[in-house]
Amino acid sequence: MSYQPAGTGTPTAVPVSLNDSENRLFSLDVLRGLAILGILVISIWEFGGFSLNEQTRLRLLHKGLDYSLFGHIIIFFEGKMKALFALVFGTGMMLYLTRPNQFTLPQTHEYYIRRQLWLMAFGIIAAFAILWPGDILFHLGVMGILLFPFARMSRKGLLIAALICTVIYCGKMFWNYADDKKALRKYSVSKKLEEKFKKDSTERHRKDSMAGMPVDSIKVRDSIGKKNDTLTRQQKEDKEKWEGITKRVKYDSTKASEKAEKEAMRSGYGKVWNHLLRRSQEKESVWFYKTGFWEFGSLIFLGMALFGFGYFNSSFSKNKYLLFGITGIVIGFLLGWWRLELVHDKIPDYEKYIKGHAIPPNQFFPIENIVMTFGYVSLVLWLIRINILKWLWKGLNAVGRMAFTNYFIQIIFCTCFFYGYGFGYFGRLSQREMYFLVIEIWLVQTVFSVLWLRFYHYGPVEWLWRWLIYAKRFPNKKKTV
């Protein structure tokens, strides 16, 4: 397929064909399918109740099959599949806006904005109706609107924008660490004052006892002295803030937080909704504002830039794809392994870690994320170019073409399987049992996608999405000869 730059071509009535298979990139759908399946490897933890406390226990264990499995999942999957989906999303933005005749249509931009608004609406449904606080559709919809003006930027400019977002993302990591350092300094001051007050109080009582002062006089004197011998409200807050930080980091052997979580998640729909509401609100607002914008922005810009370089159209030699793939994955693996080791040092004594380390464990996670994701993209493109594993790419291509549908299949199935208003398996499966379930879901989704696309042009949610965007009902069923 050939692509025309903005401002060329002849206007048509509707900027989408009945069957848009000619407007799709096979490799892009393969990567989208890989991302939508890979995301489940990490999200199954939150669905199934593989708690942060249990993950902390494995990190402290630092050995054994369970830890090895956990560590490899952290390095190769954590953040990478979501990043891959964001990268493909950025490429999809450019593909949509640079189809032949698209930019010559006055309504094309309106359709694009509608596309993003409906994506946001679907994300809100996923987060607040289906009860999935890990939703990413809302974030991508917002990013699609915010980054729309950059679509005409040069490919080098887009690449620079991706690097700037990555640097800022790294800066946010250090900023958060600096806040923890500040909290520790304030805690240390409050702690020293508290110890001084206790020491002074003990010393006064010892002297009073030796001097034979009456008990009533001691009580009166102490009631007056307490005003100057106790922490101020601000100092108490400083002390409690640091204690809260360390509590979140350390392993809770009583597992009190896990028990409360399980009880809430094994309840009916209403109680689960109330329990997850604040988490979903924070993810869609605070997290996105502080972190998500830079995390998604770096990958979306990279996807837009790679499209401009023709990276998905096999514009580079096979050797370059292989070189980029191996280099990216190796660098990403080394950074991931280092991050895993630093977290192991942090958990037992965060105060000691801060005093001995200038940077947080996740300081270079943004670089690890973008580099390894680029490595995955390059390696997959190389494997497609050398024409092996055709059956795998066809299956992933079908999953990718129905990514929207498969996303909702995953979250609906998992919430019904794990939450209390369904089968109530939340917190009942081990880490390995969860991965067996993931593989089963992968197989079902792949087979379903392949079979569905034999008879229909779009997945059911994709078809609904197009209907809402264009206010036009497109025939979906393929004509049989």
Alpha helices in 212-268 (DSSP H): 215-225, 233-249, 256-265
Task: Tell me phi and psi for residue 477, to 5 degrees.
Answer: -75, 135
| Cβ atoms < 10 Å from Cβ of 155 | 16
Cα gap 366→380, rounded to integer Å = 21
> How remote is the C-alpha of 271 from its chain's centroid?
25
Highest averaged pLDDT of the listed ranges 54-58, 118-122, 211-215: 118-122
Q: How sure is the predictor about 12, in pLDDT bands with cuts at 50, 70 and 90?
A: very low
Provide, for the chain, the percentages of residues in helix, strand and coil under a 3-state DSSP scheme, each rounded to the nearest 5.
75, 0, 25
Q: What is the structure's pLDDT at 305?
A: 97
Cα gap 50→407, rounded to integer Å = 20
**What's the mean per-residue pLDDT of the chain?**
88
Q: Please indicate whether residue 96 or residue 229 has the higher confidence score (pLDDT).
A: 96
- Summarised one tens digit per residue, pLDDT across range 240-290 is 899 899 988 888 888 888 899 999 999 999 999 999 999 999 999 999 999
| Cβ atoms < 10 Å from Cβ of 64 | 10
- Summarised one tens digit per residue, pLDDT across range 118-158 is 999 999 999 999 999 999 999 999 999 999 999 999 999 99
For 180-206, b/e burial (b = at least 16 CB within 10 A) is: beebbebbeebeebbeebeeeeeebee
Average pLDDT over residues 169-177: 96
The residues, ordered by sequence, that sit 6+ positions from 394 with a Cβ below 8 Å of its Cβ are 450
3-state secondary structure of 150: helix
Q: What is the structure's pLDDT at 313?
A: 87
Average pLDDT over residues 37-60: 95
Cα gap 350→299, rounded to integer Å = 31
- The mean-pLDDT minimum among 52-66, 137-151, 209-223, 249-263 falls in 209-223
Give Rg (Cα) of the chain: 27
- 129, 67, 121, 98: which is closest to 5 by C-alpha? 98
In sign, the C-alpha dihedral spanning 260, 262, 265, 266 is: negative
Average pLDDT over residues 305-325: 93
Residue pair 345/359 in contact by the 8 Å Cβ criterion: no
The residues, ordered by sequence, that sit 6+ positions from 301 with a Cβ below 8 Å of its Cβ are 90, 147, 150, 158, 159, 161, 162, 165
What pTM was computed for the model? 0.89
Q: What is the structure's pLDDT at 4?
A: 35
Q: Which amino acid is at 22?
A: E
Residue 409, token pair as written in the block: 């299949």
Alpha helices in 285-389 (DSSP H): 293-308, 318-346, 350-356, 365-385
Classify 401 in phi/psi space as left (phi over 0), alpha (psi -120 to 50) or beta.
Answer: alpha
Q: Please indicate whether residue 356 or residue 1 has the higher confidence score (pLDDT).
A: 356
3-state secondary structure of 456: strand
Q: What is the structure's pLDDT at 190?
A: 86
Q: How sure is the predictor about 103, in pLDDT bands with cuts at 50, 70 and 90?
A: very low
- Summarised one tens digit per residue, pLDDT across range 334-385 is 999 999 999 999 999 999 999 999 999 999 999 999 999 999 999 999 999 9
The residues, ordered by sequence, that sit 6+ positions from 298 with a Cβ below 8 Å of its Cβ are 162, 163, 165, 166, 169, 366, 370
3-state secondary structure of 228: coil
Q: What is the structure's pLDDT at 229?
A: 62
Residue pair 426/48 in contact by the 8 Å Cβ criterion: yes
Cα gap 188→73, rounded to integer Å = 37
| Cβ atoms < 10 Å from Cβ of 210 | 8
3-state secondary structure of 477: strand
Residue pair 105/10 in contact by the 8 Å Cβ criterion: no
Residue pair 309/162 in contact by the 8 Å Cβ criterion: no
- The mean-pLDDT minimum among 75-84, 211-220, 371-380 falls in 211-220
Q: How sure is the predictor about 22, in pLDDT bands with cuts at 50, 70 and 90?
A: very low
